[in-house]
Structure 1
Amino acid sequence: MLRSSVHDHTVSTVPTREPRYEKKGLKAHRQLAEVQALQEAGQLDEALKKARSFVAKNKKEPAGWRNLGRVLIDTRQWAEAKRALDRANALAPDNPSTLINLSLASYHLDQFEAARSFGQQATAIEPENPLALNNLGMALIKLDDFDNAALVLRRALSVRPDLAPALSNYGAALNRLGQFSEALDVLMAALKLNKSDPYTFVNIGNSLRFLGRDSNAIDMYNQALALDPGMKEGSVNICNVYNKNNLFDASFTISSELIEREPKYVKAHSVMADSLIGLGRIDDAKAAAESVIAIEPASITAQALLVSLAARADDYDAADYLRAARRFSDLHDIYRPDVLANPADDAAKLRIGFIGGDFRRHPVGYFLKQLFTEYDRERFAFFIYHNAVEYDDLSDFFVENSAAFRNINNKLDRKVAQEIADDRLHILIDLAGYTKYTRLSALVHKPAPVQMTWLGYYASTGVSEVDYILADPYVVPDDCEAEFSEAVLRFPDSYLCFSEPDCDVPVRPAPVSENGMVTFGSFNNLNKVTDNVLALWARVLKATPGSRLMLKTMLLNRQDHRERITQRFAAEGIDLDRLILEGPSPREALLDAYNKVDIALDPFPYGGGTTSAEALWMGVPVLTKRGDRFLARMGGSIVSNVGLGDWVAEDDDDYVAKAAAFATDAAGLIDLKRGLRQRVLASPLFDGRNFARKFETLMTSAWDAYRARNDGEGR
């Protein structure tokens, strides 16, 4: 998914005023003073007319061009303002007033490098000028240099503690550094000083959003829009909150209206893509990402989304996918001379880093937990680089079971790479691929000598600096290695190891034993239930008279989505009374809901991971289909590793035939459910201790191979 950034769109400064003009004739001085007086009185049209008249007659007078530039800034005519100020700067270089306003005009033209340069020039001349420092801080935020932005803005506030724009910008920088409570305090102080600035409300909304106070955040964004109805940032941030809360229809509506108004606004296309993915409209999401690239060809998030969508497309082609992944990699050619790897050559332990955004109650966290519980701390040291603001009690577990837990969210790729290199890792493992929290753009710096991808993504990265992909014989058979730019490093059985849920939910008898009819079920995200999946499940229901299908997932808590899914099944000839539709539940209740299901149906090509493991733990067998790519073979790996290889169908017809055969064997289903949890817990899918030993063997072999290639250098 596209990573929706924190839209802090910082506050503009008040244009600076020169205390005195250069020496000139009295008439010219009076004309310039008149322009300034009109400007300060708010008579901008008249001020602009007189300023233009002055420069037409005094083309070599820098003060005239400066005055014109300031009036144009007040009328938000940024391009013309910058041209006027460039002229002033050429005629009289190093004037702080000119440089401050050039920084501001460049900022509003999205020329952030220029804004930074002019801001730096201004502060070099007047180091304590709060307006120059504020403009520089604004530019640094847009360039993702949040640490330096915060430093510069603190300097501005040390000179002018009551400078509301600097307070608002400082709060924005703190938001981007993940210091949300501190940011909120700063921003509320800014609001007391100026209640009419919409961007302060946006920044407050961002703090509240990441503090989990979504309804309060929406209120702040709406207040920003009340002050400025056309404010793009307010609307797009409301979309972010709606997407976060699975209100994808509402987000889509707002982003559509915003794009109609602002067709070149990249962030609107980005949040639209997120909402379309949530709605399962994958082709439309792809079109939205392509719209981003048409506007901003080097967009990392849009390119990542296209790669991710290519991996799950119904018309998947392995060669086309790999080309798309390599195109993303090619965007980073500029970084490739920066080889930072600095392994610890005298370390007693192999130092392994994990980079991603899901070290929490998330499928990746659940699949990592056993490894972090069981790994050999005498031989290995684990480092975590957490690329997200989300943090919970499972995050605490990872902190306690790692040598270091570093939050890298919103840090520049180069800084992240340097931080990793400074930890002197031997191996770095990417856990995000092209998903929301991707940091492949940091891996191209090669901060560790051996780099891998695993677990959080389901295809090749296409990045030449990623040496290995961790897999197993099921997800990557021997004849499929050409699909990957990485070398394939295989576990002997399962490349996944799930953690037994930390709640006591008993397995009850199979529902078919009580009601005499089979209940199929899927608790996967509704966006995985494509038209092809739904049509096949309809065939399953038709082939098993009297059976029912239970769907339980997030979007089904809303009537419009329930109606949409029933209409889709009705079009396939399936009556409403054969469907059981339920919304989300807390995890314990979710697991208990599997006691209403006899057979879980795996969608395709994007099958279940956590949902399949949880179904099996609850004694529910999973029917899956052998796929044509890593992503589509995960189900086969999961069920085969718990001894249910006969539950892997070869194609659609086999899927229907197997479903019908298993459904008619009520005694077999009853018996299977009775002993499946014990069988699953003893399998490679849940045996954490054995999984950790296999992981350690793979890591050691990869490092030994690196040392052999490099004449024994390193550890």
Structure 2
Amino acid sequence: MASNVGSRAFQNARLQKKHRKQVDELLPRAVAAYRAGRPAEAQAICGQILALLPEHFDALHLLGVVALDSGQLDMAEQALTKAVEAEPRHAEALSNLGLALFNRKRYEEARKCQELAVALKPNLVVALTGLGNTLMRLGRPEEAIVAHDRAIALKPDYADAYCNRGMALLPLNRNAEANQNFDRALSLNPRHMEAMFGKGLASIILRHFDDALAAFDAALAIRPRAAQVLAQRGRLHQQAGRFDPAMADFQAALSIDPRQEVALLGFAQLSVIRDNVAPAMDACRKVLEQNPASEVAWTWLGECFAKQGDLTTALQHFERALELKPDFGDAITAKIFLLDFMPETDFVQHQAVRREWWSRIGAQIARRPPPLRDRDPERRLTIGYVSADFRTHSAALVFLPVLRHHDHQAFKVACYSCSPLQDVMTAQCRAAADLWVDAWQMSDEELADRIEADGVDILVDLSGHSAGNRLPVFARKPAPVQVTAWGSGTGTGLPTMDYFFADPVTVPEAVRPLFAEHVYDLPAVITTDPLQGWQPTSLPMLRNGYVTFGVFNRIDKISEPALALWSRLMAALPDARIVIKNGALQDPLLRDGLVARFVAHGIAQDRITCLGLSTRDQHIAQFAAIDMSLDPFPQNGGVSTWESLQAGVPVVAKLGRGAAGRAAAGIIKAVGLHDWVAEDDDGYIAIALAHAGRPADLAKLRTELPSMVASSAAGNVETYTRRVEEGYRLFWRRYCASG
């Protein structure tokens, strides 16, 4: 027995010696194949070695590295784990295992491997910068920068470390410094794709969109199938309003990597914009399956529910996003917008959520020292207007009349345009300005610098919390006096915003202490230019024999309480008709859905007319078929209210519980139609029924209403502008007196 055991041991030893000799011949061939760029050959040779010696460290390590390079993460992890088991104190193997775990998004396990590698070999720069990347994914960017700095100190020409350091700077908003790091990496390696990609990311954050596009294009020239670059370029196109190229990039990225998160989210956002809710929801849910902590996915899923009218679920999703990322601006903005549409909310909640934006975002932005200005109370003042809507947009219809009628002897008008989109209305806005600045590619800090350098005395926000706003600029306070006006007349919640243009109906005296701003009353919260070439039309009811109501508003303003009330009115007037006009009604799904809501309330389909997209002249011409307009709630009409009144069609409205729900009433009362504004639902019905029963009086009002509008302080844009300028002068005098 003993001799047999000894014989087997001897034979095994001879076999092991033979295998080691074979391995000694194979291993250099595997290394040479790997270095020559033949990974499949290297992998096959490693397989031969491990068939002979299953625990051979060098073969396991090389196989893991080859698999890691080729994206075979399962094989890489298995091989490198066995390699580390074979040699637990081998720093390079630990570093590579950390990288494999990092690529599998197991960041905490990766960190432990990389920290051990660095402890064993403090000058292993690959492990140091790998650890930095892992720390960044764990939400520890400051520590990540320290790790990258150690790598750079050891190897000053290490392009990867500079690139990775730049990536760690981005979440800290140190974007200009990040760009310098990417440039340094590119100076060391001009074809460093990741550095080019990082430069694109930094440029997007800095709003240097042309630079970002050039960087992404250069990165794709190096690696055409880089899904993350395609996704970010799509995001860039989307921000610039180039929706078709954006969708093409998102779809290209998803064809390469169906789980690419940025592409899925971009696809979802663009689908929501285009009213394609079902695919948007599907994309958001795919993201949440793989990343339940995606605040962006929760926000856009909320937007999908809002589009479908499920406001309660939408709000829950926005709140979930804010739990995950308390300073996520898109979620706060979505919440602000949503609450204005929720019937049960009021001034208290509306202003509270605006203050929430300030506490979560605005308060974290450093305020500038007060700019030095000549405190002469009567000198010519520079008024700076900031907007992304100096273009064909309903907001421009509101502020363009004021721009046109300014007294340029007393006021210098500067416009800071924050959108890449330009059209005929842009040219009109530009013509009304003394100074025009294309600011859409300026970061918030750069725009604040420019405003201060231009000597702006009073800076006016024309967006509120609507899309394209630059409220972070106003948080910096680059001008002595700041005002919010017109574009979204509901207040901002910013303590750095001094005044808010409103009117006594839109913002009653009793609720004004809720506002961050001092409320200054104009004749109405907004005005518009008179209709061009409009001729009075006869009352349709006289020829039709029945009343025709009109709702020429966005369909998302048609809340269920409003539709139910209108259905009640239609039931009380069995012959009445209703015409609803909005561009979104081109979509058969939306149109049929709206009609179905009326039918569900007992209103026959043939009593409802839906009109879709048209030119503005065609839009105005449709008022000839309308006897009375019905104002929606809780989100009122604005420009649509003025258009109806200017066309001679009175508007029935009711006083709501927030500024957005009282604006139409403010306009209607400002032109003298006090008896057209109700306090409640019953009053709304009573007004409509009373006037429907007096067609002769209604016909007389139809002929008189355009001149009533034109002679009112709210409807006469020159008078209105003088009131605005009186406000500016008062604000400036107060400022001068305060110093």
TM-score range, shorter chain: 0.7 to 0.9
Number of the residue aligned with 2:335: 306
Q: SS of 2:383's equivalent?
A: strand
1:531, distance to aligned residue in structure 2 (A)? 1.1
The answer to which structure, 1 or 2, has the higher relative contact order (CA under 8 A, 6+ apart) is 1
2:692 matches 1:663: yes
Q: How does 1:452-471 map to 2 (within 5 A)?
A: 452-471=483-502
Superposition CA RMSD, Å: 3.4
Q: Tell me the equivalent position of 1:6.
A: none
Retained in 1: the 8 A contact 2:284–2:297?
yes
The residue aligned with 1:644 is 673
Q: For residue 243 of structure 1, what is the aligned residue in structure 2?
A: 272
Equivalent in the alignment of 2:481: 450
Q: Is the counterpart of residue 98 in structure 1 residue 127 in structure 2?
A: yes
Structure 1 residues 183-192 or 610-619, which shifts more?
183-192
Question: Equivalents in 2 of 1:321, 1:415: separation in Å?
Answer: 31
Please state how far the C-alpha of 1:533 moved relative to its aligned partner.
Answer: 0.2
Q: Are 2:299 and 2:318, in contact at CA under 8 Å, matched by a contact in 1? A: yes
Aligned to 2:567: 538
Inter-partner Cα distance in structure 2 for 1:356 and 1:92:
55
In structure 2, relative to structure 1, the CA distance for the partners of 1:333 and 1:356 (3 Å cut) is closer
- Which of 251, 258, 281 is 1:229 aligned to? 258
Percent of aligned pairs with the same residue? 27
How far is 1:507 from its partner? 4.7
1:261 to partner: Cα distance = 5.0
By how many angstroms is 1:252 displaced? 3.4
Cα separation, partners in 2 of 1:39 and 1:425, compared to 1, 3 Å:
same
1:149-168 matches, within 5 Å, as 149-150=178-179, 152-168=181-197
Residues 106-145 of structure 1 show CA distances to partners (whole Å, capped at 9, x for unaligned) of 4544555555565566556656544334334444555555
User: Following TM superposition, by how much is the alpha carbon of 1:541 offset from its aligned partner in structure 2, in angstroms?
Assistant: 1.1
SS at match of 2:701: helix
Change (3 A) 1:406 1:152: farther
Q: Amino acid of the residue matched to residue 609 of structure 2?
A: I
- Distance change >3 Å, CA 651–CA 250, structure 1 → 2: same
1:360 equivalent in alignment to 2:391: yes
Aligned residue for 2:526?
496
Which has the higher mean CA deviation after the structures are superposed, 283-292 or 373-382?
373-382
Give the 3-state SS of the residue equivalent to 2:662 in structure 1: helix
- Identify the residue that residue 40 of structure 2 maps to in structure 1: none
Query: Is contact 1:176-1:410 (8 Å) kept?
Result: no
**Distance in 1, Cα, partners of 2:465 & 2:401:** 24
Counterpart in the other structure of 1:284:
313
| 1:150 to partner: Cα distance | 4.8
Please state if 1:397 is matched with 2:458: no
Quick check: 1:128–1:155 contact (8 Å CA) kept in 2?
no
Q: Given the two structures, how large is their TM-score scaled by the length of structure 2?
A: 0.83
Residue type matched to 2:273 in 1? K
State the match for 2:358 in structure 1: 329
Residue 297 (str. 1) matches residue 323 (str. 2) = no
What SS does the corresponding residue of 2:459 show, helix, strand or coil? strand
Give CA-to-partner distance per residue, 1:624-651, whole Å, 9 cap, x none. 1122332222111111222222221222
Aligned to 1:625: 654
Which runs of structure 2 are paired with 1:61-72 in the superposition (5 Å)? Answer: 62-72=91-101
Question: Deviations 1:435-454 (Å, cap 9, x if unpaired)?
Answer: 33344344333333333322
**Paired residues of 1:507 and 1:619 also in contact (CA < 8 A):** yes
For the 8 Å contact 2:368–2:476, the answer to whether it is kept is yes
Letter matched to residue 525 of structure 2: Y
**Bigger share in helix:** 2
- Uncovered stretches (5+) of structure 1, i.e. residues with no partner: 1-16, 18-26, 711-715
Deviations 1:553-605 (A, max 9, x none): 13322222222222211221111111001222232222222222121110112
CA positional deviation for 1:201: 2.3
Corresponding letter in the other structure for 2:652: L
Give the equivalent residue in structure 2 for 1:375.
406
Structure 1 residues 45, 512: closer, same or farther in 2, change over 3 A? Answer: closer
Amino acid of the residue matched to residue 499 of structure 1? D
SS of residue matched to 2:269: helix
The 1:634–1:666 alpha-carbon spacing in structure 2 relative to 1, beyond 3 Å, is: same
> Once the two structures are superposed, what CA deviation does each residue of 1:357-403 show, in whole Å capped at 9, x if it has no partner?
32322222111111111212232233444444444332343344445
* Residue segments in structure 2 that go unaligned for 5+ positions in a row: 1-34, 36-55
Aligned pair partner of 1:205 in 230, 234, 241: 234
Match of 1:706 in 2: 735
- Cα distance in 2 for residues equivalent to 1:404 and 1:276: 42
CA distance in 2, matches of 1:333, 1:210: 22
SS of the residue 2:384 aligns to: strand
Which residue of structure 2 lines up, in the alignment, with residue 472 of structure 1? 503
The size of the alignment, in residue pairs, is 683
Deviation at 1:675, TM superposition (A): 4.1
Cα distance change of structure 1 residues 500 and 235 upon mapping to structure 2, 3 Å threshold:
farther
Of 652-661 and 148-157, deviating more is 148-157
* Equivalence for 2:112: 83
TM-score (norm 1): 0.85
Q: Cα–Cα, structure 1 residues 135 and 642, in superposed 2: closer, same or farther, change >3 Å?
A: same
d(CA) in 1 for partners of 2:150 and 2:239? 35
Task: Give the deviation of 1:177 after TM superposition.
Answer: 5.4
Once the two structures are superposed, residues 648-700 of structure 1 have per-residue CA deviations (whole angstroms, 9 ceiling, x without a partner) of: 12221111111112123223333333343343233333322222221111111
Residue equivalent to 1:4: none
Provide the residue aligned with 1:520 in structure 2.
549
Partner of 2:224: 195
Q: Separation in 2 of the partners of 1:86 and 1:638?
A: 67
Contact 2:208 2:443 in 1 (8 A): no
Structure 1 residues 645 and 451: alpha-carbon distance in aligned structure 2, compared to 1, 3 A threshold = same
Question: What is the deviation of 1:532?
Answer: 0.6
**Cα distance in 2 for residues equivalent to 1:84 and 1:389:** 47
Structure 1 window deviating more from structure 2 (373-382 vs 698-707): it is 373-382
Measured in 2, the distance between the counterparts of 1:257 and 1:578 equals: 42
Alignment of 1:21-32 (within 5 A): none
Q: Secondary structure in 2 aligned to 1:459?
A: coil
Give the SS at the match of 2:476. coil
Alignment CA distance shift 1:75-1:232 (3 Å): closer
Deviation for aligned residue 1:519:
1.0
Which residue, out of 433, 440, 446, partners 2:464?
Answer: 433
Cα shift readout 1:165-206 (whole Å, capped 9, x = no counterpart): 344444455555556566556544443432332123223433
SS in structure 2 at match of 1:444:
helix
Match of 1:612 in 2: 641
Match of 2:293 in 1: 264
Work out the CA distance in 1 between the residues paired with 2:87 and 2:406.
76
Between 1:431-440 and 1:519-528, the stretch displaced more is 431-440
Query: Compared with structure 1, are the counterparts of its residues 469 and 107 closer, same or farther at alpha carbon in structure 2 (3 Å cutoff)?
Result: same
Residues 286-306 of structure 1: CA deviation (Å, up to 9, x unaligned)? 112111112222323323332
Aligned in 2, Cα 1:46/1:474: closer, same or farther, shift over 3 Å? closer
2 CA distance for matches of 1:441 and 1:254?
30
Q: Does the 8 Å CA contact 1:472/1:490 hold for their aligned counterparts? A: yes
Structure 1 residues 203, 461: CA separation in 2 closer, same or farther (over 3 Å shift)? closer
